[in-house]
């Protein structure tokens, strides 16, 4: 399977990924598709694991699976942390349609999924975008957001675990720029200010509590502590495990 990241980029871009994600969500919500049970196996806790994700899209006429493995120690041997393969089959006869290098496709899919959510759930006149983390997935998510959110003027990049240096910020901006192929969005990117968020996590929590969760707080008559405690646990667990894969 000779499919490098460069080769994958020749057949997919963020706009295609956004449209594909949206189509898959529609099929799933209308009973024309489904997500099958996840298979997960852990060789070494928080170091080496794999999972198999699968499902069907009846309207598209296909079903398939993605096997993705993560090994924290791989870079020590000059290998990528994340490796994955997707197998796609014709739903009518079970004949294999494609075998793809799913590692780069996963980045597109994850970024596109965030954009589809924002397209339908975010305020249309939002001008500020807060990105927590500055890894690989963050650049895909940011670029995808800029494709669907036309009023964004500033992007704040926040990372509580690692300091974002000027060099890292510049690399982040370049990665976002490389992912945007739409001429209108690309021109708009030149006017958008991508900044490092220097506020501490405690300040960030306060903002999340006040602005993002206030409606939920009053509607369900629960305290801020009841909201923040599970949020803290999820955030810290994410930073210690999943988010370092971005």
Quick one: pLDDT at residue 2? 55
Q: CA 82, CA 2: separation in Å to the nearest integer? A: 16
Ranges assigned E (strand) in 111-179: 128-132, 154-158
Quick one: pLDDT at residue 205? 53
pLDDT tens track, the chain, 246 positions: 556 777 888 889 999 999 999 999 999 999 999 999 999 999 999 999 999 999 999 999 999 999 999 999 999 999 999 999 999 999 999 999 999 999 999 999 999 999 999 999 888 888 988 888 888 889 999 999 999 998 998 888 877 666 778 888 888 888 998 898 877 777 777 777 777 754 444 555 555 544 444 433 344 444 444 444 444 454 444 434 333 333
The structure tokens 């976002």 sit at: 176
DSSP state at residue 38: P
Other CB atoms within a 10 A radius of the CB of residue 58 amount to: 14
Quick one: pLDDT at residue 183? 76
| 31 within 8 A of 59, measured Cβ to Cβ | no
Quick one: pLDDT at residue 206? 54
Distance set, CA 234 to CA 53, 110, 239, 243 (Å): 22, 19, 9, 11
């Amino acid at each position: 399977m000779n499919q490098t990241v460069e080769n994958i980029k020749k057949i997919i871009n963020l706009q295609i990924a956004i449209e594909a994600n949206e189509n898959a969500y529609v099929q799933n919500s209308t009973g024309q598709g489904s997500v099958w049970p996840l298979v997960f196996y852990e060789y070494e806790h928080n170091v080496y694991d794999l999972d198999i994700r699968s499902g069907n899209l009846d309207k598209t006429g296909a079903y398939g699976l993605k096997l993705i493995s993560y090994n924290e120690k791989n870079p020590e041997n000059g290998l990528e942390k994340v490796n994955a393969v997707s197998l796609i089959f014709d739903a009518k006869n079970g004949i294999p349609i494609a075998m793809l290098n799913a590692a780069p496709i996963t980045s597109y899919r994850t970024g596109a999924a965030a954009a589809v959510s924002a397209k339908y759930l975010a305020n249309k006149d939002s001008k500020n975008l807060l990105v927590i983390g500055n890894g690989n997935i963050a650049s895909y998510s940011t670029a995808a957001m800029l494709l669907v959110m036309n009023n964004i003027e500033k992007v704040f990049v926040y990372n509580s675990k690692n300091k974002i240096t000027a060099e890292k910020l510049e690399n982040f901006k370049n990665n976002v720029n490389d992912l945007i192929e739409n001429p209108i969005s690309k021109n708009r990117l030149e006017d958008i200010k991508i900044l490092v968020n220097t506020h501490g996590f405690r300040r960030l929590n306060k903002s999340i509590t006040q602005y993002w969760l206030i409606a939920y707080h009053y509607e369900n008559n629960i305290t801020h502590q009841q909201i923040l405690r599970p949020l803290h646990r999820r955030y810290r667990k994410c930073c210690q495990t999943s988010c370092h894969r971005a």
